[in-house]
Amino acid sequence: MDHAAFSRRVLLASGIVLLVVATAGLLYVARNLLPLIFGSVLIAVVLNQLADLVGRWVPLDLSRTTRVGLVISTIAVVSCLTMYSFANSAAQKAAQFKDRIENSVQETFESVKQQPLVEDHLEEDAKLSSMMPSSGKSIGLAKNFFASAFGGMADFLILLILSIYFALSPDKYRVGAIRMLPTGWREKTSGLLSQSSTTLWRWMIGRLIAMALVGVVFGIGLAVIGVPMPLELGVFAGLVTFIPNIGGIAAVVPALLLASQQGSTALISVLVLYLVIQTIESYLITPMVQEHQVELPPAMVILAQIIGGLVFGFWGIVFATPMFAVSMLWIKQIYVEDWLES
């Protein structure tokens, strides 16, 4: 081998290594953006599937862009009306329970003060205000809160904008991504992207069924128990059920807070209701739905959520399950079938 050919091979290998390292570094720096991009693709897939359903049900000859715009507009209007209605209801309920909550907090503080271990460390005239953080700490907490809230709003806007762009022009981004690959990989990748779209849609259908069942049952159970705002709490429980396993914990917290104002019986009843619904959802509803939609081992779903949270943060937890479902599809097609079993 002459020196020129050897030099070219060395330069090519060095270039490939540098490209891989640069790509890995870029992915590491932008790792918090990756779940947002994946979530945008998931939402875009759902919007396009709904647009296809509109094309089948509506007799008008509408373009796909028009149908997607119609779906987005309908979802936006329904979401705004729902949030406005729930905000008014929550404000009214909060005004009704304000005095009761304040009295409950004061009674709890007084009972804690009477405990021997606490009483020795408090002055006789200690009040609730003395237990509050100092002004400096309060300012720090407020800054952290607003920084987190602003970051969350920015992430949500990124998710929303990317979803709309991906939904309106999916072929443009799909073809552009495929053309970045070698010609021998393009056909296989195109088929995997189509299968990934189907997998995400089927997974979303499964989650929507589970979310609806949990929300309806939880809302009816709270109404029977007598907990305030059963409709709002039921809708909230259904929405957070989008995140398997972890979402159920977030659903029961506001219900327990309101039930605590009704007495210990209501509190225990809500806790039992939550445990029953979680058991049925985790071991009956979700396995039955996933059996007909997407096969996901429950233990692997939990591990995917843990890893997604550690690597990608909050949005990694939210989209861990669909990311895991798509990853399983690609690993099965490329690694298991095309390499191990070929």
- pLDDT recorded at residue 264: 81
Q: Is the pLDDT of residue 295 over 60?
A: yes
Residue 320, pLDDT score: 86
Q: Express each pLDDT in 117-157 by its tens digit.
A: 555 555 444 444 444 455 555 555 555 655 555 667 888 88
Supply the pLDDT for residue 324.
87
Instruction: Encode pLDDT of 216-256 as tens digits.
Output: 999 999 999 888 888 888 888 888 888 776 777 788 888 88
**Largest interatomic CA distance in the chain:** 92
Please tell me the distance from the alpha carbon of residue 217 to that of residue 234, in angstroms, as a whole number: 8
Residue 132: C-alpha distances to residues 114, 137, 178 (Å): 19, 10, 57
Q: How many angstroms separate the CA atoms of 10 and 69, rounded?
A: 52
Question: DSSP assignment, residue 131?
Answer: G
| pLDDT higher than 70, residue 45 | yes
Question: For the whole prediction, is pTM greater than 0.85?
Answer: no
DSSP classification of residue 130: G
- Tell me, what's the pLDDT at 207? 85
Q: Which residue has the higher pLDDT, 147 or 177?
A: 177
Percent of the chain with pLDDT over 90: 9
How far is it, in rounded angstroms, from Cα 268 to Cα 275? 11
Over residues 46-71, mean pLDDT: 87
Q: Euclidean distance between the first and final Cα of the chain, in Å?
A: 34
pLDDT at residue 115 tops 90: no
Which of 88-92, 199-203, 334-338 tops mean pLDDT?
199-203
pLDDT tops 70 at residue 2? no
Domain boundaries, the chain: 31-97+140-177
Per-range mean pLDDT, top range of 85-94, 283-292, 329-338: 329-338
How far is 280 from 17, CA to CA, in rounded Å?
50
Q: Higher-confidence residue: 162 or 108?
A: 162
- The predicted pLDDT at position 133 comes to 52
DSSP SS3 for 342: coil
Mean pLDDT lowest among 66-70, 134-138, 155-159, 289-293: 134-138
Neighbours of 186 (CB within 10 A): 14
How many CB atoms lie under 10 A from the CB of residue 42? 23
Give the Cβ contact number of residue 35 at 10 Å: 24
Model pLDDT, residue 101:
55
Average pLDDT, the chain: 78
pLDDT surpasses 60 at 27: yes
pLDDT for 43 beyond 90: yes
According to the model, what pLDDT value does residue 11 have?
Answer: 81
pLDDT at 124: 46
| CA torsion angle 227 230 234 236 (round to 10) | -90
User: What is the mean predicted confidence (pLDDT) over 104-111?
Assistant: 58
Amino acid at 97: F
